Structure 1
């Protein structure tokens, strides 16, 4: 018990990882997992996080055993192409992932907290020419707040402790908010199908190429065989994108960079290897699974297989709420475009079944989920429901996005200091933090109807990069020239390699799938060229001398 108390008191890096992964990416992918697949894909995020914890534990083991900065260790002992790729991919991932964080922050302010200011005739509502003043103002305020908090990390030991405390509170707030939503749902008449929830925790890889069973009745209503095939492929494509994004959001390549440098800045050594695994299991895995699971359950309960409130689709009549008119029309236009391109052959214009399908598949946003939760929090007098729903849900979303923005700034500071070979402090670190602040330019890059979908776009991109880190650290755990006597042997080596091999295989499969889906033959050509470059450098560079280290700590 004394050891447990000591571990809890000293924990910190795992909570930072948790605050980073519980960001807009996890929110958006969890939201769309529930919308598209109900609770059928509840298994995906715990699985992705479990293999992520395995790889992060390996990263921590290597870092704490050698005491070396990983980027320079990779360049010296493994392959400089992998080292520079890891660093560049981390920085690019930060820049891409920061976009949806700012976007979601604005969405919450616009739709949940201050609609009277940002919508309709509000002071900061878009003008006739689509002014972005409100977006820039909110994004600027968020950037200033995150900058102040993040720069405290470079202010010495007190800054690190303050940063840890703030993010632990933020993670707790996220978990409590979303658990409160699900608890409230379970107390209502009809409640939650906990049997379906339990079934959704059983892995089912067929979801990568088959629609979930709960959408089959909708497909059966489409009588035109060509149209049914079109909608089936559309569902599978979006389902696959969300699955890949959810896996990438669980453990992104920037998380693999954050952990070792946080450990080194705290002065942790080989004696902290057990604590780090405990910290990742309790501070990262548990909060992530609880928060994302609750979001999936909530969105599935409110949206899966249903048309948005206000939609009327019947024979000869379609009434779409103004918010979804464009999205609904866009889905049907894409259907017609597919026929014009010769990819599908339809018997005629969209029938009733297709219209209902399109109405069901229009993309919702975080506001739609918060708005749907209004009845859950309505008091007996019928007042206060909307306010409480918006506050509870909005607070959770803001906590997720702000913490992630701050941590991506922290990682960017680490990366810039590593590029310049400077200590993680002072103005080099502070200015380096600002690299990921390019996320405030999201209004220039994204005008989609559902801003949460930007997290899926970013997630697919992140999935393409993750195998770089996983393969690199798999090699490092087996490189005696680097670990010396700390290289795992016997049964321990088998356990490490089996678990890491599973993680590498899963990440590589997801990454290659994303590359092929989005880049086709050109994407495969890039992968082949990159692999060739790695092999050429590997076989032409001088081999490092074997390390000699003491026996591993007990």
Structure 2
């Protein structure tokens, strides 16, 4: 912390509260909370929104368990790096490079910067989509896009300027940090209340919510990595040809797997793990604040994330799962035709079906209605579609509720995306300063923040008709990188040379290792699956080569330690 007096005051407040008992400690923790809210605002970004949207579309309430489980395991690992940071008098990157493995340390830093650059694109994309579709519908075409492509660049540039001004305020001593914290607390509250309001409104309708399905959806079902959710059974059974049925079943499973991996990777990404330790250091927190750190992550990060993302999954499932999107036409001959905005996505699914038939050695005739119906349920909706589908929930006496549904939903989404853009800029500033071994302040910090401004170039990379789908691509990329951070933190929490007397012992160490081991295994399995699907055998070979480099660096470190102890 730049202000030593403030750091000393913080430590004195925590110690005094701990001496007065549990209630005083909890009240002090609530007053001093801050880093957890930043983690919450980052996790509740456009990536979480997009993955929640598609979890609801592909599985309804069946996938409610994915994000809470991923966030729980991620929070365990955040607590681990927080514990280490608050227990040692050393910055994390330097500690990793000296005590664990320099390849892991630099991979963590540069992986964070790359993740910020990639992840910032869907944040800008969704921000522009919300402004166009929810707040400026009169300026858009019927499909919810601006008539002029230049509008995307102008809006993205304005968002970059706004977020830069907000983020640079963090580097100002005292008041800047307080304003930043309070703004993000307000944003998180708005996000959660917006989506809780959406689900509450759904629950008040005649059809309401199926609470038995909600409870069932909170129970983990890993088998959905390998077979479609049960609600697709009627659609698949309507397909008479067994080979066609198998093809569409495999396609659904592939979509499910991508979305499940993306949702898990976006709950706590590699860049999220970089934020916490450097925020803790910038505030001068020490070993006495480890309890505060853990409670802050649980109450300010885990709980808001689970509530908000769960509400989006439920809303998307209620509106879209297993249903034909609005605008699809079913002719008297049973032929399903898409509206213009879904044509690319629909024809892409049918085109893949034809390619699969050709590869199997036969020519496919006219695709029958049952197959076209499955393809229609899989088209890639956007936030515009979800907001528009909520119109009837906010209408009065059969009137038009469009304006209210778009504002309620739009405010929540924009809060998600803008807070994430700002926090990724903050992380980039920390990372650049750490790479240069400089304190996170002044112009090196400010210019470092602009690294994640790469996201304004999203129109060059967004070829999908649905801009929300860009978040799924980002999530899969995040899942590939996440084991780097998790494996590093696991090693740090078990390093005697790093933690010394602060190393957890006895039953505490067993609990830590069981929970961290589960997180490492889950992240590694998701990473290998993502790498194999996206890069094939070549990707696995590259991963093996990377692991070999890590092992070589480890052998070299151990040899140096051995020579020093002789």
Shared fold, TM over 0.5: yes
Distance in 1 between residues matched to 2:255 and 2:335, nearest whole Å:
27
1:54-453 aligned within 5 A: 54-119=76-141, 125-126=146-147, 131-314=148-331, 315-340=333-358, 342-343=359-360, 348-380=365-397, 382-383=399-400, 385-453=401-469
1:3-18 aligned within 5 A: 3-18=25-40
Q: Contact 2:34–2:181 (CA<8 Å) still a contact in 1?
A: yes
Deviations along 1:151-195, whole A, 9 cap, x unmatched? 001111211111100000000000000000000110111100011
Distance in 2 between residues matched to 1:149 and 1:393, nearest whole Å:
23
Aligned residues: 538
Distance in 2 between residues matched to 1:212 and 1:445, nearest whole Å:
31
TM score, norm. by length of structure 1:
0.95
User: Which of 536, 539, 556 is equivalent to 1:540?
Assistant: 556
How far residue 328 of structure 1 moved from its aligned partner, in angstroms, is 1.5
Deviations along 1:300-330, whole A, 9 cap, x unmatched? 0000000012212353533322211222122
How far residue 423 of structure 1 moved from its aligned partner, in angstroms, is 0.8
1:495-534 aligned within 5 A: 495-534=511-550
Deviations along 1:425-474, whole A, 9 cap, x unmatched? 00000000000000000001112111100000000000000000000010
Deviates more, 1:267-276 or 1:343-352: 343-352
Q: Contact 1:241–1:460 (CA<8 Å) still a contact in 2?
A: yes
| SS of equivalent residue, structure 1 residue 38 | helix
Cα–Cα, structure 1 residues 416 and 353, in superposed 2: closer, same or farther, change >3 Å? same
Cα–Cα, structure 1 residues 28 and 329, in superposed 2: closer, same or farther, change >3 Å? same
| SS of equivalent residue, structure 2 residue 330 | strand
Distance in 2 between residues matched to 1:345 and 1:157, nearest whole Å:
70
How far residue 349 of structure 1 moved from its aligned partner, in angstroms, is 2.9
| SS of equivalent residue, structure 1 residue 40 | helix
Q: Contact 2:335–2:368 (CA<8 Å) still a contact in 1?
A: no
Deviations along 1:57-100, whole A, 9 cap, x unmatched? 01100000003111111000011000010001000000000000
Distance in 2 between residues matched to 1:84 and 1:268, nearest whole Å:
24
Q: Contact 1:125–1:134 (CA<8 Å) still a contact in 2?
A: yes
Q: Contact 1:311–1:320 (CA<8 Å) still a contact in 2?
A: yes
| SS of equivalent residue, structure 2 residue 63 | coil
| SS of equivalent residue, structure 2 residue 466 | coil
Distance in 2 between residues matched to 1:61 and 1:488, nearest whole Å:
10
How far residue 344 of structure 1 moved from its aligned partner, in angstroms, is 7.3
The answer to whether residue 34 in structure 2 is matched with residue 38 in structure 1 is: no
Q: Contact 2:146–2:152 (CA<8 Å) still a contact in 1?
A: no
Deviations along 1:324-347, whole A, 9 cap, x unmatched? 12221221112112222x147576
Deviates more, 1:155-164 or 1:294-303: 155-164
Distance in 2 between residues matched to 1:93 and 1:185, nearest whole Å:
35
Distance in 2 between residues matched to 1:240 and 1:198, nearest whole Å:
22
| SS of equivalent residue, structure 2 residue 467 | coil
Distance in 2 between residues matched to 1:528 and 1:333, nearest whole Å:
35
TM score, norm. by length of structure 2:
0.93
| SS of equivalent residue, structure 2 residue 323 | coil
Question: What's the Cα RMSD here?
Answer: 1.5
| SS of equivalent residue, structure 1 residue 61 | helix
| SS of equivalent residue, structure 1 residue 144 | helix
Distance in 1 between residues matched to 2:199 and 2:546, nearest whole Å:
45
Q: Contact 2:354–2:364 (CA<8 Å) still a contact in 1?
A: no
Distance in 1 between residues matched to 2:360 and 2:179, nearest whole Å:
57
Q: Contact 1:302–1:372 (CA<8 Å) still a contact in 2?
A: yes
Distance in 2 between residues matched to 1:544 and 1:139, nearest whole Å:
51
Distance in 2 between residues matched to 1:177 and 1:247, nearest whole Å:
23
Deviations along 1:256-305, whole A, 9 cap, x unmatched? 10000000000000000000000000000000000000000000000000
| SS of equivalent residue, structure 2 residue 548 | helix
| SS of equivalent residue, structure 2 residue 68 | helix
How far residue 199 of structure 1 moved from its aligned partner, in angstroms, is 0.4
Aligned to 1:463: 479
Distance in 1 between residues matched to 2:541 and 2:300, nearest whole Å:
40
User: Which of 29, 40, 53 is equivalent to 2:75?
Assistant: 53
Deviates more, 1:227-236 or 1:274-283: 227-236
Aligned to 1:482: 498
Cα–Cα, structure 1 residues 192 and 68, in superposed 2: closer, same or farther, change >3 Å? same
Deviations along 1:399-433, whole A, 9 cap, x unmatched? 00000000000000001001111110000000000
Q: Contact 1:226–1:346 (CA<8 Å) still a contact in 2?
A: no
How far residue 543 of structure 1 moved from its aligned partner, in angstroms, is 4.6
Distance in 2 between residues matched to 1:344 and 1:193, nearest whole Å:
44
Cα–Cα, structure 1 residues 333 and 132, in superposed 2: closer, same or farther, change >3 Å? same
| SS of equivalent residue, structure 2 residue 62 | coil
Distance in 1 between residues matched to 2:560 and 2:83, nearest whole Å:
23
